[in-house]
Amino acid sequence: MNFIQTRGCDENKPASVTFSQAILSPIASFGGLYVPETLPELGEVFLNKHLNSSYKELASDLLSRFEIDIDQSVIDEALNLYDKFDDASNPVPVVKIKDKLYVSELYHGPTRAFKDMALQPFGKILSSVAQKRDENYLILAATSGDTGPAALETFKNQKNIQVVCMYPANGTSDVQRLQMVTEDAANLKIIGIKGNFDDAQSALKNLLSSPSFEEALNEKNISLSAANSVNFGRIIFQIIYHIHNYLELVRQDAVKIGEKVYLNVPSGNFGNVLGGYYAMLMGLPVEKLIIASNENNILTRLIQTGVYDMRDQELVLTTSPAMDILKSSNVERVLYGLYGADRTRELMHDLDTKKIYTLTSQELIQLQEIFVADFCSDDEGKMYIKDTFNNGYLMDPHTATCFKAYESCATKDIPTIIYSTAEWTKFSPVIANALTGEEDTQDIVALESISKTANVEIPSMINELFNKKIVHDSVIEKEDIEKEILKFL
């Protein structure tokens, strides 16, 4: 299968590329992204075939349907990394909360967040491709808190790979920050940015398309790639768990194959729900994709009104910081899927130059046939955390946003799958405040408080963070990022 470009081809790049080419150089013509030229069809025969399959068996077959140009032995090695999750036989538990409401727990990997689901195998595949080509790569990552730890974990000490991870200095939880700044592998560099996630992501995309930066890297015999979800190597692994979750509901007698469900996803950069969008296009029985936002509700407004408006929009720092994003990169892939390359290039040009684009009434109808959306305030989120805990389930503030969207958007009497993207340990002060009212609590104190209140253990990989040495203490202006990276190299 080949991959084509969301904004069309500028003739400086090939009209289509292989999977390995797309993951090594993820930015396409006119600053666009790569998408599959076609999608495999996964009808009821495929679903029935995998009703009793393991997660790895399902993943391997799905990847084979995409016909990616990666050796099967490398794919097998990559998928074997799921054996390191809490339960090797079931890396993604699907837990029933109440009648027709289920939570998919995506956080049982080494960094306790859903980014492990994609970055663990993706890192192995990208590193193998680089070694096979005998090429050196600089992997850039911009993070709002979870991509960074997962990228660093998968790429540390990998041959032919160096990683620079940028994070907003005051925009992550203590645990997320410690997961990054205590990494001591020589091929990793972590940089705090005086700004927000959008600043970090803009810096990443600018560097990926900068001729002068590319020239400076060429002089060092280094090529450039990215670990963010602008890279389709991330997205392809995020399709798999949506299919797995549906099959889990079948196995739990919640649905019969062919019956529809809602997928309810907390959304920031739109990569997680994009995997569900592709699964839906491929034949997964989905009624609607429910987008849950926090107070940075730009996605809710887009889906409700057809207007993506960043003018005079200030990023709000919320209790669900991984969703504190205004410019959601992966929306572009949906625009391409619905409206084609020419219209996508026009809309993205308007967003880049005017900070706004407006869909036509017919385009909005097309969007709303697939998506519905709502947003959740911080206070509402804490209310859902407390109420849900009182009913026997402990969750993080990102998952909590889905409960508001569930109440307002899941209008049909069919099952809903909520996607839990992070373990409670990543955002303990917010959860402790929701459960007991304690305020301004440091992470380590909040962790111990929740552990006692909920009678749950703090995972060792989280506890150990507070005794590790800080290795990376750089916090710089965003204008100095390129200079800092070149100094590291």
Question: Taking all residues of the chain, what is their mean pLDDT, rounded to a whole number?
Answer: 96
Distance of alpha carbon 406 from the chain centroid: 20
The per-residue pLDDT for 107 is 98
The confidence score (pLDDT) of residue 77 equals 97
Each residue's pLDDT tens digit, 250-264: 999 999 999 999 999
Whole-angstrom Cα distance, residue 322 to residue 373? Answer: 18
pTM attached to this predicted model: 0.95
Q: Residue 441 pLDDT > 90, yes or no?
A: no
The C-alpha atoms of residue 48 and residue 372 are separated, in whole angstroms, by 29
Q: Is the pLDDT of residue 320 over 90?
A: yes
- The fold adopted by the segment(s) 79-113+233-458 is Rossmann fold (3.40.50)
The Cβ of residue 257 has, within 10 Å, a number of other Cβ atoms equal to 15
Where is average pLDDT lowest: 41-50, 160-169, 197-206, 342-351?
A: 197-206
Tell me what the mean pLDDT of segment 189-199 comes to. Answer: 94
Which helix (H) or strand (E) segment holds residue 153: the answer is helix 147-155
> How is the chain split into domains, by residue range?
79-113+233-458
Q: Is 308's pLDDT higher than 90? A: yes
pLDDT tens, 120-158? 999 999 999 999 999 999 999 999 889 999 999 999 999
pLDDT recorded at residue 27: 93
Confidence of residue 380 (pLDDT cuts 50, 70, 90): very high
Sheet holding 371-375, edge to edge: 94-98, 101-105, 416-420, 261-266, 286-293, 371-375
**Cβ neighbours of residue 337 under 8 Å, at least 6 residues apart?**
35, 277, 281
Asked if 135 contacts 160 with a C-beta cutoff of 8 angstroms, the reply is yes
Average pLDDT over residues 6-17: 96
Gap between the Cα atoms of 120 and 156, Å rounded: 11
Average pLDDT over residues 379-385: 98
Q: For the residues 9-19, what does the mean pLDDT come to?
A: 95
pLDDT band at 440 (very low <50, low <70, confident <90, very high): confident
What are the pLDDT digits (tens) for 284-298?
999 999 999 999 999
Looking at residue 284, its pLDDT comes to 98
pLDDT surpassing 90 at residue 170: no
Confidence tier at 76 by pLDDT (50, 70, 90): very high
